[in-house]
Structure 1
Amino acid sequence: MTSCYETLKNQARNIIHHYHRMELADWQSSPRTEDEYEIWIDFLQLFKSQTTEAARLNDLRQSQRLVNDYFADTEQPVLPPEQLNQLTRMVCDRIPDIYSAMLNHQPIDLEEEQKQSTEKSSSDVAKGTEPASINSTNIVPLGQAIGEYLSENQAKGWKVRTINQYQHSLVVASSFFGDVAIGTLTREHGRALRGILPKLIKGKTQEDLHKDGIKNCTTDTASMQISSVTANNHMNRLREFFRWSESMGYINRNPLPDDNIPMPKVSKQAKRNPITDQEAKQIFAHPLFAEHKGIKTRKIQHASHFWLPLIAAYSGMRLGEISQLSVGNIRKLGEHWCFMVEQSSEDHYLKTPNAQRAIPVHNELIRIGFITFVDYVRANGGERLFTNIRLLQGNYSNKPSEWFIKQLRDNLGLPLHVTPHAFRHSVKDKLSRVEANPENISRLLGHAGGQYGGLVSTEVSHLVPLINAIDYGAATAHIQPIVPDAFHYSPVSTLSDVEV
């Protein structure tokens, strides 16, 4: 008799096969050029990497879509929640197999893999190498297990930012439990940790936890507590650590509950207020834009101070995407200049596979001199457009965001929702008013338009009128075209110790 677990494994295998066939059929639907093939291979590499990362981080959003769509496509009855959650987790672990198979021009042979796994498991049991049970001879201190886990993932090539995020979550756990033997942790301990996570005080660092202890880093005052999203991020990272510990034989069972912390039912719109036309007029009336006058220097200190808010306002790009732009990312597709959001170097970071896209450069940016600025950087041997913005812990956007908030929002007395990212919400709202096709909006903003994204089209003429429809009530009409000489630091300077 087939167990429920085996039934779910078979169903997960069917889902992976289903979507592998769909992706392959989509690629084979028409003749392809050599250039398209090379781009496709790059996409497969990116998707494999990001889906592998999603499996590590227990990010089930993509696999949930796959599972839900599969049941809808096949018209099968949906499973009960508990089984559905288990199936989704299995699918999440197998999604990278789709891209591995396509990269190697091979079919997915999960049946053979399962057979080999079963034979290996039986052999291991016969040899006495089954997973260890916890006893007095193999109890490992929590701190030791954490050190091994972080070292192993660093060796796997995890990004610094990811390592730091995991380290923070693990410091929370070790501060709460102390350096106990990891094998002694029970579900009761896990429930207690789950209960304390939402009470963590916003802004507390690993150093604070080490110095002050968990008790002094928590509060019952709701306004001072971390968000439910942050608390659940801690939960997911810790759950992944304990899952690894279980596979290593350090524990018999993951002590953390399977369910995440409940999210409060609040209006998402309240968190995503766009920048209004009036607020945009106040920002761009600042002397930095109106008079090409710097805040700390007579000239504008850095090119990023001038261009980042304008690009955000007229493209809807994420701040990190703008901050990492190079001259190679500004290219003509046909007759139209475009921002090419792509992973063109190992320092480039894309939030999702769908983030790779082409965005026509708005006419207002061209009028103010953006293409002239890019040509200057290119002609003088520059590579990145904004060399003063450095990669910090795998992120380009933190310092520019801090600068905008301090020098523009706060100094102008604007509301708290006015951040560089709020321009992205403004662009989405403005596009939604003039465009009936949500796929075009998704393509410009880098949202999930398809199941896995798609190739970047070289035809953007239909997107040009859409991007040029972004208007802030003439908020930037007074800005005169700028020249590279308007900046205190040359745009091609190599800067090391200057503020953003």
Structure 2
Amino acid sequence: MSCTNTLTFTVPQHNTLDPLTLAATIQALLNNPQHLSTLPGLSRSDASAPQSSPAPSQQVTLQHAANAMVREHAALGQWEYGSTYKYRSQLQQIINLLGPDRLTTSLCTSDLTNLKDALKFKSKNSLSLPEVDPSWVHDANIEGNIGGETIHRYFNLLKRFIVFCQESKYPLGQIDMSVKLAGQYPSTAHYATFDPTELDAIFTSRVYTTEPTERFRWTPYSYCFWLPLLGVFTGARPGELCQLYAGDVFEESGIPVIRITDRGHQQRLKTDASARHVPIHPQLIDSGFLEFVAMRRREGGRFQPLFPELPYDRRHGHARAASRWFSGQGVNDLGYLGACGLSKGMGYCLYSFRHTFVDRLRKAGVQEMMIKTLVGHTLEDDVTINYGQNFSLAQRQEKLAQLRLDVDFSHITWENYQRLQRLKPHCQKNRRAATPRR
């Protein structure tokens, strides 16, 4: 039995050769491979050696490798959509600086040092990395440049890219991975924690003290009232709170809880450990949170978003508008923080409520593993957590009730805030319809 393969050739339109003669010649060469040595530019050794295309790993450009890294991390879920967008942009800036058409074999230690120098001069609003001019040496600390955390992120992203190339069997040059930035890698503690005085300023400012008889120009959206309260009494991430549905608040074993989950439409979690049930603090109940949830259920059932006025953005989730409201958008808009005598430049943002929650529980003597359970941090580093039963809901409720903020909340009620909303009907705008759970 013989095996036949069919080859297709494209012949130039004005070719003078007889197609049949050309086909017969090619067939003769294929039948007798030794005749290939007679062709111009092909040596006998080339003809006798097995013919194969060059290995892809020998011809991989930095751009090709970067694209492969982004696709793999996104496909495997190592980066969420918003993170993929951010890291892809930052990695592309690095590749553009190094040279997208360079081969991975040309990567070397000097690329790490060159990136270190470029990051000192990168401005906050620029989408490119500057090529360093030695004459800039005295301008390394000018205002408007990116901060230390962002510098570390870019630098470590190049190191992760190099590791990806190694794991993908892309050949590299001589690289000393021990090259580091000066100083320690900044921790997440760059978010400031609110002290009692600052919390008092937040909860006695316009959102919580404006009377219906007063004239006011700001819009009393429901998230403006609830997000600071929920943040400081649940320790949940802003994105987790902004995506809640009415059905995510319910009773379990007689205890009212908030379910942090990614089961709903357009809901997502940072990690698997983020999924949890958080008991509702008594202060939230006193402020009318359960009445607020019941109102949302009447509007659209258990699939009604708690904050339908917050639009969804695939890149940023639901929290972008809320973050801008709280932190502001530049010198002309200082946000709610500005009205409280604080500012984003001081390290404050919606995330600060989460840090405050953790800080106050530690001061109350709550053990670290319980805090991790409440805020959705991984427990895999704590070996003993795998012995016996995890913390019960009643235990979590007991520890959560120990949270004390030394702030007067007696004037804060959802009923009073609704009077402001009636004066501004446009605050009820629904940007997200109720959607059944997947």
- Is the structural similarity TM-score above 0.5? yes
The answer to whether structure 1 residue 362 and structure 2 residue 281 are counterparts is yes
TM-score by length of 1: 0.61
The answer to whether structure 1 residue 476 and structure 2 residue 390 are counterparts is no
Partner residue of 1:462 out of 377, 388, 395? 395
Contact 2:118 2:132 in 1 (8 A): no
Partner residue of 2:209 out of 290, 297, 300? 290
Q: Distance in 2 between matches of 1:263 and 1:448?
A: 29
Contact 2:262 2:275 in 1 (8 A): yes
The answer to whether structure 1 residue 221 and structure 2 residue 141 are counterparts is yes
Q: Distance in 1 between matches of 2:113 and 2:318?
A: 36
Contact 2:327 2:337 in 1 (8 A): yes
Q: Deviations over 1:89-126 (max 9, x none)?
A: xxxxxxxxxxxxxxxxxxxxxxxxxxxxxxxxxxxxx9
Structure 2 counterpart of 1:231: 151
Contact 1:332 1:338 in 2 (8 A): yes
Structure 2 counterpart of 1:402: 324
Structure 2 counterpart of 1:73: none
**CA separation of 1:464/1:176 partners in 2, compared to 1, >3 Å: closer, same or farther?**
same
- Pairing of 1:198-277 with structure 2 (within 5 A): 198-206=119-127, 208-209=128-129, 213-215=130-132, 220-221=140-141, 224-245=144-165, 251-253=170-172, 257-259=176-178, 261-262=180-181, 264-265=183-184, 271-277=190-196
Per the alignment, in what secondary structure is the counterpart of residue 85 of structure 2?
Answer: helix
Partner residue of 1:345 out of 259, 264, 274? 264
Larger Rg: 2
**CA separation of 1:133/1:469 partners in 2, compared to 1, >3 Å: closer, same or farther?**
closer
Q: Distance in 1 between matches of 2:281 and 2:225?
A: 16
Per the alignment, in what secondary structure is the counterpart of residue 339 of structure 1?
Answer: strand
Per the alignment, in what secondary structure is the counterpart of residue 371 of structure 1?
Answer: helix
Structure that is richer in helix per residue:
1
Structure 2 counterpart of 1:38: none
Structure 1 counterpart of 2:248: 329
CA-CA distance at 1:320 after TM superposition:
1.5
CA-CA distance at 1:417 after TM superposition:
3.3
- What is the root-mean-square deviation of aligned Cα atoms in Å? 4.0
CA-CA distance at 1:269 after TM superposition:
9.8
Structure 2 counterpart of 1:411: 339
CA-CA distance at 1:230 after TM superposition:
2.8
Q: Distance in 1 between matches of 2:191 and 2:69?
A: 36
Structure 1 counterpart of 2:430: 493
**CA separation of 1:286/1:258 partners in 2, compared to 1, >3 Å: closer, same or farther?**
same
- Pairing of 1:35-184 with structure 2 (within 5 A): 134=58, 138=59, 141-147=61-67, 150=70, 159-183=80-104
Out of 270-279 and 446-455, give the one that drifted further.
446-455
Structure 1 counterpart of 2:222: 303
CA-CA distance at 1:176 after TM superposition:
1.6
Contact 2:207 2:220 in 1 (8 A): no
CA-CA distance at 1:422 after TM superposition:
1.8
**CA separation of 1:273/1:489 partners in 2, compared to 1, >3 Å: closer, same or farther?**
same
The answer to whether structure 1 residue 433 and structure 2 residue 363 are counterparts is yes
Q: Deviations over 1:28-73 (max 9, x none)?
A: xxxxxxxxxxxxxxxxxxxxxxxxxxxxxxxxxxxxxxxxxxxxxx
Q: Distance in 1 between matches of 2:191 and 2:251?
A: 33
Contact 2:124 2:145 in 1 (8 A): no
Q: Deviations over 1:470-492 (max 9, x none)?
A: 23323322113426564344657
CA-CA distance at 1:151 after TM superposition:
5.5
Instruction: Give the letter for the 1:291 counterpart.
Output: T
Number of equivalent positions: 362
Contact 1:243 1:254 in 2 (8 A): no
**CA separation of 1:446/1:248 partners in 2, compared to 1, >3 Å: closer, same or farther?**
closer
Contact 1:377 1:492 in 2 (8 A): no
- Pairing of 1:448-459 with structure 2 (within 5 A): 448-451=378-381, 459=392
**CA separation of 1:159/1:354 partners in 2, compared to 1, >3 Å: closer, same or farther?**
closer
Q: Distance in 1 between matches of 2:188 and 2:87?
A: 30
Instruction: Give the letter for the 1:220 counterpart.
Output: A
Structure 2 counterpart of 1:391: 313
**CA separation of 1:141/1:127 partners in 2, compared to 1, >3 Å: closer, same or farther?**
closer
Q: Distance in 2 between matches of 1:414 and 1:294?
A: 27
CA-CA distance at 1:352 after TM superposition:
2.7
Q: Deviations over 1:412-460 (max 9, x none)?
A: 3225233222222222222123234322222112233344888996932
Contact 1:435 1:466 in 2 (8 A): no
CA-CA distance at 1:311 after TM superposition:
0.8
Q: Distance in 2 between matches of 1:262 and 1:494?
A: 44
**CA separation of 1:412/1:436 partners in 2, compared to 1, >3 Å: closer, same or farther?**
closer
Q: Distance in 1 between matches of 2:240 and 2:215?
A: 26
Instruction: Give the letter for the 1:305 counterpart.
Output: C
Per the alignment, in what secondary structure is the counterpart of residue 462 of structure 1?
Answer: helix
Structure 1 counterpart of 2:290: 371
Q: Deviations over 1:172-213 (max 9, x none)?
A: 22332234332452314423334235415352342x55xxx5
**CA separation of 1:465/1:258 partners in 2, compared to 1, >3 Å: closer, same or farther?**
same
CA-CA distance at 1:371 after TM superposition:
0.9
**Which runs of 5 or more residues in structure 2 are unaligned?**
1-49, 329-334, 434-438
